[in-house]
Amino acid sequence: MKVKVISILEDNYMYLVIEEQSKQAIAVDPAVPHRLLEIVKREGLFLVAVLTTHCHWDHARGNEALVNEVPSLKVYGADDRIKGLTDKVTDSQELKFNSINVKCLFTPCHTSGDMCYYVWEDECTDAPAVFTGDTLFIGGCGRFLEGTAEQMHHNLTKVIASLPQETKVFCGHENTIKNLKFALLVEPENEKVKEMLSWARARDDDDKPTVPSTLKEEFDYNPFLRLSEKAVQKFTGKMEPVEVMRVLRKEMDTFKKPKERLPPQAMLALQWGLLMSSKDHLSPAIKDSD
């Protein structure tokens, strides 16, 4: 099983899960359908299904166009608001595509119809994967737009946390740096957070994705999975895990990512460039008076 990571829109990800022997492919949240179809054609794949994590346009808007292009395509999801939905799935339902297995994990909170997908391949030693949409991010979690702290606590600590620790996490957005800066605010002495933030900045400099992480790694630096840690409780002023979750998300909702400070040489070059640009736009009369 191969997972192809495809960056789209401002910071979204869509994915192709490929069974390499048969060349069958399953798309996850394919919001830019023409680009997906170009990749499918270029790599000689057969698109058989779409897994939609939730109804928001930046995850589901490509479904109808894909169904029009591939009439046999199955579009799975848990919310009737999902465009192009052909097959509604329920919690713990399992799907099979040749040797690839999918277990549906109902995780309502970001929206009332969120579904994560746990995916593994028969007789394969590679780590399984979970596609979490906007429920679990690297270093963070999604907003509680249609749900509660109780629901997100259940989603993260009971549903997703029950998966094997080596499970690879493929989330819906590239917001890792902001998440880890918040995590560092919550736990300023957490060395794992510092290491991961440094790594994520390097990936960003190289224009490379930070997905996937693993569940094991998330427990080391994601504050939303570290609700019983003393530093996290101190930051929130709460002890009870659901209340810790509630305060964390409230603080994250108002958190503004600190601006990266440019090196002195870059600042000097920027200032010089702006100065020269302003001179270029002065009228001839003003230039002559200097």
DSSP string, the chain: -EEEEEEETTTEEEEEEEETTTTEEEEES---HHHHHHHHHHTT-EEEEEE---S-HHHHTTHHHHHHHSTT-EEEES-TTSTT--EE--TT-EEEETTEEEEEEE--SSSTT-EEEEEEETT--SPPEEEEETTEETTEE---SSS-HHHHHHIIIIIGGGS-TTPEEEESB--HHHHHHHHHHH-TT-HHHHHHHHHHHHHHHTT-----EEHHHHHHH-GGG-TTSHHHHHHHT--SHHHHHHHHHHHHHT--PPPPPPPHHHHHHHHHHHHHHHHHTS-HHHHHT-
Average pLDDT over residues 24-36: 98
| CATH number attached to the domain at 2-257 | 3.60.15.10
Percent of the chain clearing pLDDT 70 (strictly above): 88
Reported as a single tens digit per residue, the pLDDT across 190-210 is: 999 999 999 999 999 999 999
Has residue 214 got a pLDDT over 90? yes
Q: Which of 108-112, 165-169, 239-243, 253-257 has the lowest mean pLDDT?
A: 253-257
- In this prediction, residue 218 carries a pLDDT of 98
Domain boundaries along the sequence of the chain: 2-257
- In this prediction, residue 19 carries a pLDDT of 97
Has residue 134 got a pLDDT over 80? yes
Give the confidence band of 269 by pLDDT, cuts at 50, 70, 90: low
Chain centre distance of CA 177: 12
Please state whether the predicted TM-score (pTM) of the whole model is above 0.85: yes
Give the confidence band of 176 by pLDDT, cuts at 50, 70, 90: very high
Catalytically annotated residues: 54, 56, 58-59, 110, 134, 173
Has residue 279 got a pLDDT over 50? no
Q: Can you name the residues that pair with 77 across neighbouring β-strands?
A: 88
Has residue 5 got a pLDDT over 50? yes
- In this prediction, residue 288 carries a pLDDT of 32
Q: Which amino acid is at 210?
A: T
